[in-house]
Structure 1
Amino acid sequence: MKTIKLVALFFTLLFIMDDTISQAAGAVQIAYTVTFPEAQAHYADVEMNISGLQQNTLDLKMPVWTPGSYLVREFAKNVESFSATAKGKLLATPKINKNCWQINTTGLSSVTVKYRVYCFEISVRTSFIDASHAFISPTGIFLYPDKMLQSPSTVHIIPYQGWTKISTSLEPVNGNAFTRHAPNYDILFDSPIEVGNQDIFGFDAAGVKYEVCMVGGGNYDKERLKVDMAKIVEQETAVFGENPNKHYVFIVHNYARGGGGLEHLSSTTLGASRDSYGTEAGYHNFLSLVAHEHFHLWNVKRLRPIVLGPFNYDTENYTTDLWIAEGFTAYYQNIILRHANLTTPDGYLDAISNEINVIENQPGHLVQPLAESSFDAWIKAYRPNENSYNTTISYYDKGAAVGMLLDLEIINDSKGKYSLDDVMKYMYDTYYKTKKRGYTDAEFKQGFEKFAGKNLDDFYKKYITGLTPIDYNKYLGYAGYKIIDELADSNDPTLGVNIAASGKKIVTSVIRGTAAWIDGINVNDELVSIDGVPVTDATTMLTGKKVGDKITVNVLRDGLPLTLPVTLLRNNRLKYKVISLPDATAQQFAVRKKWLKL
């Protein structure tokens, strides 16, 4: 009884303490002002005014990662010139760990904090500033008071000279476009801000106002994009039965060569190549990126693994379910284009073929299970090395393939009544809308089983937690398709290395199980000659050679000459293509019709 009473007392005190902190947080007012006096040098100057304080100590933190990008990036490394004042006096601001500054606020109700942030990393997940524009990725710009993540705040932007426009999903305050309101920090950190002279256009779809902000120019056709992006929005909204936004923003950064995207609750940031819109391949690649990131507004931003929200911004947030959150989104990015008639059935099958080839030609798919790929994203996916190709598999690529398998399984087993769409809508309605929380791995498995009408333990054991090679023909066969290897009869030799594209022929990776792997060619070796013939071109260095030949490879390793005897092996690279079965049945055609919306 004594132990129980002590535990009860502890939790009572904890409740009182948390309630006091919550009341204090509720009374606190937080306002940021962001200026760019040295935009040309890539700086944002931030002033943070905090009032209504009731505690004796104020800890201000900078997130170490940004949701959607599973890597600790240590944003505090870019902060400098940190200071705090109150009542006209400079306060001590000791840094108590890598991302936290502590201020003694005894007797103080308000504090002004000033700091600068260096912003010169081009990506969809990091801030970048120069004289032409500012892209503010909030997790790397705005400090937050510890234990006050539910506090609202305002952000006032004072543009650099000549900048006239702002694009963000945060709502304006009193009609002032350059002053925005965030209801809490999860929303602030999930709302990137673009400031400059971007090209802005819009369209309406699924009852939502969409804004597209193009930065960096490009050969895009606005009118065509309005029509096709609206088709994507309508198709994706149909999966879930509702579009939860009133206003959504696409921030598109166009570079000489660009790519990638990062999802947010009511916006997304995309990277694109500014001159790629003029080709059909480039244009469809962009639409596929649009479809991927926009699908995330449901899948992961609302329907999410249970650990991904509320977020811990101080450390990693582990989940084994990124193969659903990202992999299924990668699956939908292509099937949505097919359903919207933005790609042909053959074009979609080609996309599937390419996806299968990526997986099956990566030795790591026989080393790393899909669930482990998700869990280890923090230390492997965003930190690849020269051996990652041999040891890992992408939860995007294999997750997309598994999404296809489950879609075909459900369509076939339900005789066309259900598809993966029904699972996604059920899970969205059940966990996001009704239970108002994320899902566990077991709960999503139950969702699959509900619509497949059978136990999926064996499927999970093989393809999620295990390393069983995927039986593509079983699942594609439901729709009257199969895969063939167009290189099955080839007998070309290969060393099994990748080489730097230009300059010296430096080995950048060695593929597991190949001649180079077995006979000891190493990464960073410089290939000098083969059988005395200088290596000048990676594509011709084995001209005249055949499988089984014993060759002499001369390399420079750490500047020293080395001769290696190598026995050439067959190039085992696969080139799969999805083709139709010649004798497909009526049932298979029915599955195909449902799957591809023919």
Structure 2
Amino acid sequence: MPTSFLPSLSLDLRAPESQLVGVRLRYQPSRQLLRFALPAWTPGSYLIRDYVRQLEGLEVVQAGRVLQPRRVGTSRWELALPGLEPVEIRYRILATELTVRTCHLDGDHGFLALAAVALELEGERWSAHRLCLQLPPGWQAFVPLPADPDGGWTARHFDALVDTPVEVGPHPCHAFAVAGVPHRWVTWGRTLSGGDLPQEDPRWLADVEQVCLACCRLMGVDRPAADHYLVVLHLNADGYGGLEHDTSTVLQYGRRRLARPDGRRKLLQLVAHEYLHQWNVRRLRPAELTPYAYGQAVVIPTLWFAEGITSYVDQLLPFSAGLGSVEELLEDLGSDLSRYLLTPGRAVQSLRQSGEEAWVKLYRADAHSPNNQISYYLKGAVLALVLDLHLRRHGSGLPVVLRCLWHRLGRAGRGYREADLIAAFAAEAGDLASLLPAWLEGVEDPPLADYLADVGLMLESRRSPSLWLGWQLQSRPEGLTLQRVVRDSPAQRAGFTVGDELLALNGWRLHQPEDLKAVLAGCVAAPPLRVLYARDGQVRSAELEPEPPAVEAWTLRIDPAAGEGAEDRRRRWLALECP
């Protein structure tokens, strides 16, 4: 089809100080009933975001006439056209939210998640779409789409357009290759010392390349799934996160995080996580996401595999690439196990439920969430560890299952269901046909200690030096308030709720957490504590019965009494080697 007939999305970013993106969507209609919609969410981030909140000034122009479409849903419109002349849909997008899944534009840069920008035209989803950008002087665009001769880009269909993150600005671009496949690295933002990350760290791109190659080895392939790849890093004050795409990823990372002793290692793990998603999630995809339904939430029972497996191996991949030490890796794995074991919600919400309820729980976390839910990222990673070690008892390993699923389903882009996953694991260890569904459906912890013992490891607990009250405090200008109350804890039994302001304990005035620690340090036994607090403007009192000190952290240690062969099994496991 001639490019003049393709739907064409033109974005005007020449007034970045306004934080408004001017949008013109031109296309040639083939029928007079025009219907279009704006996506409500973006793949990889399972929350209805109602991007329409940032849309303004919508109008349709045909043959010089301005037409007003009729809204038939919160983000859907329709219009009976007078004729079949070319149509231009005009609107503006307010770009004020800096995340990897929203839009942000200012005098320094612009970032667009096109799910928040591009209208889907009924009947044109599988048509090629053109993208054109108008930029401020001195800026350039970083777009993971094939360029066209007219200075724009062409997406093979609407899904590919929505899957395209757009970064613009006066940024340097760094080229490198992974198994001969061209890659680009673009950073917006500076390190604490004021430099560009790859320029400041001469080893950075070489290490990223090794992590990417480790992903290829894990999947049993010689080269990346994409034939070109773009990495965009937003280096801001203290962010963290990423979003995967077919041929790119966008990362957000805090410069203060980067300056920590483990900052570089953690950023490499984030790179590994998002890079692996070009296989697991993007091409090896849950059937419920094949194709995407941009206007509604879809229940996905298998997010434990899509994200949990990836969250588990993202720590192992840099190590398997020769980056980091065993001690650092055990510290990272132990930290995740500690977070898991200290989350009460793991005994309330099953792993399958965590994925099914992602749209309404995980991305809407509040002060009560740790009590009634568990992240499928976190619990999924713990289950992945258990599955990997279980498979190794049977002479196999998690990489074998991943490769099998990739070759059987991922290469063809065939979506999987939970039954496919269970069958793939059971093919390597028959007892997983019953064990895996039980672990997915139940809320009991899998036998972690037994599996860790196989590789000569053990979990050691560390108890708090203070009596356990079951609350977490936060210092605010108005005083010391309860940020969290643990379910079935002394604080909950005494009637405390999130938001209560603590005034005094045993007659001593409280201003900050250190005041509370000083009073508790003087309690040699565990008598009832007299608490004066305020709620809704009223001063109240209560008696609090503390309990003995609770476990505040778990540490993963090498067991000096481990049996013969444990060290070799541990080495092969941590390096993602299979028997």
Q: Normalising TM by the smaller chain, what interval?
A: over 0.9
Divergent runs of 4+, >4 A = 24-28
- What is the SS of the residue equivalent to 2:240? coil
From 527, 530, 555, the counterpart of 2:505:
530
Contact in 2 for aligned 1:492/1:547 (Cα 8 Å): no
Contact in 2 for aligned 1:127/1:135 (Cα 8 Å): yes
From 137, 151, 159, the counterpart of 1:186:
159
Provide the residue aligned with 2:541 in structure 1: 563
Provide the residue aligned with 1:6 in structure 2: none
Q: Does 2:487 match 1:512?
A: yes
Q: Does 2:118 match 1:142?
A: yes
Provide the residue aligned with 2:147 in structure 1: 172
Q: Does 2:563 match 1:585?
A: yes
Letter in 2 for 1:523: V
Q: How does 1:320-399 map to 2 (within 5 A)?
A: 320-399=301-380
Contact in 1 for aligned 2:178/2:224 (Cα 8 Å): no
Classify 1:544/1:255 alpha carbon distance in 2 versus 1 (closer, same or farther; 3 Å): same
Q: How does 1:449-488 map to 2 (within 5 A)?
A: 449-461=426-438, 463-487=439-463
- What is the SS of the residue equivalent to 1:173? coil
CA shift for structure 1 position 288? 1.1
Contact in 1 for aligned 2:461/2:555 (Cα 8 Å): yes
| CA deviation map 1:466-521 (0-9, x unaligned) | 0112321111122122212133xx66313221222442111121011221111111
CA shift for structure 1 position 26? 12
What is the CA–CA distance in structure 2 between the aligned matches of 1:338 and 1:545, rounded to whole Å?
Answer: 46
CA shift for structure 1 position 384? 1.1
CA shift for structure 1 position 166? 1.0
- What is the SS of the residue equivalent to 1:289? helix
Provide the residue aligned with 1:3 in structure 2: none
From 237, 244, 248, the counterpart of 2:216:
237
Q: Percent identity?
A: 26
Contact in 2 for aligned 1:492/1:546 (Cα 8 Å): no
- What is the SS of the residue equivalent to 1:47? strand
Give the TM-score taking structure 1 as reference length: 0.91
Q: Does 2:13 match 1:36?
A: yes
Letter in 1 for 2:252: G
Provide the residue aligned with 1:126 in structure 2: 102
Q: Which runs of 5+ in 1 are unaligned?
A: 1-23
Segment drifting more, 352-361 vs 573-582: 573-582
CA shift for structure 1 position 148? 2.3
Provide the residue aligned with 1:9 in structure 2: none
Give the TM-score taking structure 2 as reference length: 0.94
Classify 1:27/1:466 alpha carbon distance in 2 versus 1 (closer, same or farther; 3 Å): farther
- What is the SS of the residue equivalent to 1:486? strand
Letter in 1 for 2:514: T
What is the CA–CA distance in structure 2 between the aligned matches of 1:582 and 1:498, rounded to whole Å?
Answer: 36
Contact in 1 for aligned 2:231/2:249 (Cα 8 Å): yes
From 470, 474, 491, the counterpart of 1:500:
474
Provide the residue aligned with 1:7 in structure 2: none
Q: Does 2:79 match 1:100?
A: no
Classify 1:568/1:279 alpha carbon distance in 2 versus 1 (closer, same or farther; 3 Å): closer
CA shift for structure 1 position 25? 13
| CA deviation map 1:289-342 (0-9, x unaligned) | 111111111110011111112100010021111111111111011010221121
- What is the SS of the residue equivalent to 1:156? strand
Q: Does 2:241 match 1:251?
A: no
The alignment covers a number of residue pairs equal to 564
Contact in 2 for aligned 1:229/1:290 (Cα 8 Å): yes
What is the CA–CA distance in structure 2 between the aligned matches of 1:391 and 1:546, rounded to whole Å?
Answer: 33
Segment drifting more, 331-340 vs 276-285: 276-285
From 422, 445, 448, the counterpart of 2:400:
422
What is the CA–CA distance in structure 1 between the aligned matches of 2:17 and 2:554, rounded to whole Å?
Answer: 49
- What is the SS of the residue equivalent to 1:72? coil
Letter in 1 for 2:183: Y
| CA deviation map 1:134-184 (0-9, x unaligned) | 101100011110242111111110002x342111211111273xx111111
Contact in 2 for aligned 1:64/1:73 (Cα 8 Å): yes
What is the CA–CA distance in structure 2 between the aligned matches of 1:575 and 1:386, rounded to whole Å?
Answer: 20
Classify 1:25/1:303 alpha carbon distance in 2 versus 1 (closer, same or farther; 3 Å): farther
Classify 1:134/1:531 alpha carbon distance in 2 versus 1 (closer, same or farther; 3 Å): same
What is the CA–CA distance in structure 2 between the aligned matches of 1:328 and 1:553, rounded to whole Å?
Answer: 45
- What is the SS of the residue equivalent to 2:513? coil
What is the CA–CA distance in structure 2 between the aligned matches of 1:282 and 1:425, rounded to whole Å?
Answer: 31
Segment drifting more, 569-578 vs 239-248: 569-578
Provide the residue aligned with 1:14 in structure 2: none
Classify 1:109/1:573 alpha carbon distance in 2 versus 1 (closer, same or farther; 3 Å): farther
What is the CA–CA distance in structure 1 between the aligned matches of 2:113 and 2:60, rounded to whole Å?
Answer: 23
- What is the SS of the residue equivalent to 1:505? strand
What is the CA–CA distance in structure 2 between the aligned matches of 1:146 and 1:574, rounded to whole Å?
Answer: 54
Segment drifting more, 498-507 vs 311-320: 498-507
Classify 1:546/1:494 alpha carbon distance in 2 versus 1 (closer, same or farther; 3 Å): farther
